Structure 1
Amino acid sequence: MATENQITFILASASPARRRLLQNLGIPARVCPSGFDESQIQLNNPAELVKTLARCKAEAVANLLTTTLSDSIPHSNSALILGCDSVLEVDGEIYGKPENKTEAIARWKVMRSHYGRLFTGHALIDFGQQKTIVYSRVTTVYFAEVSDAEIEAYVATEEPLNCAGCFAIEGKGGVFIEKIEGCHTNVIGLSLPLLRKMLQELGHDVTQFWQAENSEKFYTSNGDPQFD
């Protein structure tokens, strides 16, 4: 097993919510959005869809590590790369992020007083071992009875426009959630208990990152660093 100062953890996602979850867990992740075109993948099974998309995102960043990012990310040869993707399934329909406010309002009118299943795919690549593991988790979300005025006010904040489920349970949208069944952080976009198990499966311990330097760099797809 590599020691904590030899491993760089890379999040293959631009999601601020996933980044915050990793921060709270004590993992100083470097953020490198994959730039993967999700429209390339069309599957009717939500669990398989999110697993496939998560893998594609992680693999896209892994490919960058052999080219543009190899010199700009320390210990890239032993990096751990995490790709994630989330969708919401309601009455057999699979939803990603809404394209605009009109779509967000229409979707909330379907979701209110109902429930949906939030699927998140997790793909973790151990670049040093050349191993990839992929899992999905599902959480059932029960939505409150929400008025048209509340829906319009919520969508006006633009918070739901950046969320696969059209809501942020950790934000303003949390007031419209009656209850959930399953992993709470999975709804935010990353199941922390699952991540712990995935790290263990690859021979790592989540606590090894807690002593790492608490600084982050953000990288564009061409390898240029951006600082928070």
Structure 2
Amino acid sequence: MLVLASASPARRRLLEQAAIAHRVQVSGVDEDAIYHTDPAQLVQLLAKAKAQAVRDACTDASITAVLGCDSVLAFEGEVFGKPIDAAEAIARWQRMAGGWGELHTGHCLLAVGAARECPALDIHGHPTTERLATITTRVHFAPLTAAEIEAYVATGEPLQCAGGFALEGRGGALVERIEGCFSNVIGLSLPLIRLWMGRLTSQ
């Protein structure tokens, strides 16, 4: 059984839609205490911290792996997590509208129990019980009027999402194009998780 170390409903729905059996356990990690200037590295550090916290507390023998994930949007050299309030969300969208951003999602899969005792091999042929990767998707936002931005922010959706938008929600109408993994923008890369879980179960 896989444990998702995330409170994100979007990540949970992605795993459910892909028929990946799992349960959720929130890590409780203080994300503000973790920092890195490189957004691709930052999300890896956050994902690993979440997965490690849940794995360290795991006592259920049926659990074989813990998955931690975290996402940020990088726009014009600045890292955007969740907006702290509506004013910040509006200010961000005024900048993002009509431009390109990069959505980085860090993924960390840690083996638990028996799977931890029988590690897989990494790309260099070395035993490992940890898989760590950042998937990046480029996102092009539609040009928007001030009224459209305010109306979207008023829904409250941007305040719940990294980058201030939800591709699977109302924000999907404000994204004109993506380059890369679609599900990665929602919360995790399903092709990557499928590959990792396939390797884990084949050990």
TM-score normalised according to structure 1 size = 0.80
Partner of 2:2: 9
Q: Distance in 2 between matches of 1:85 and 1:139?
A: 14
What's the CA shift for 1:202?
2.9
Q: CA RMSD in A?
A: 1.3
Q: Match of 1:14, SS?
A: coil
Name the aligned partner's letter for residue 148 of structure 1: A
Distance 1:204 1:103 in 2: 46
Gaps of 5+ in 1: 1-7, 206-228
Alpha-carbon distance, 1:63 to partner:
1.1
- 1:14-36 deviations in whole A, cap 9, x for unaligned? 10000000000102321111110
**Partner SS state of residue 92, structure 2:** helix
Query: Aligned residues: percent identity?
Result: 51
| Counterparts of 2:4 and 2:10, CA distance in 1 | 12
Partner of 2:99: 114
User: 1:204 and 1:109 mapped to 2: Cα distance?
Assistant: 48
Q: After superposition, what is the alpha-carbon deviation per residue over 1:104-163, rounded to whole angstroms, capped at 9, x for unaligned?
A: 111111100101000000000111233111011000000000111111111111011110
Secondary structure of 1:125's counterpart equals strand
Alpha-carbon separation, structure 2, partners of 1:21 and 1:60:
22
Compute the displacement of 1:74 (Å).
5.8
Distance 1:74 1:123 in 2: 20
Mapped partners of 1:25, 1:141: distance in 2: 23
Q: Distance in 1 between matches of 2:184 and 2:31?
A: 20
Q: Matched residue of 2:14: which SS?
A: helix
- Equivalenced residues, count: 190
Letter of the 1:112 counterpart: A
Offset of 1:204 from its aligned partner?
4.2
Alignment partner, residue 148 of structure 1: 146
Structure 2: 5+ residue runs without aligned partners? 117-128
1:92 to 77, 81, 86: 77
TM-score of the two chains, using structure 2 as the length reference: 0.90
Map 1:181-192 to 2 at 5 A. 181-192=179-190
Residue 203 of structure 1 deviates from its aligned partner by 4.2
What's the CA shift for 1:165? 1.6
CA–CA distance in 1 between the matches of 2:95 and 2:61?
47
Q: Which amino acid aligns with 1:19?
A: R
Give secondary structure in 1 for the equivalent of 2:136: strand
Among candidates 61, 67, 76, match of residue 82 of structure 1: 67
SS of the residue corresponding to residue 164 of structure 2 reads coil
Distance 1:160 1:204, change over 3 A: farther
Cα distance in 2 between the residues matched to 1:83 and 1:140: 22
Counterpart-to-counterpart distance in 1, 2:61 and 2:145: 51
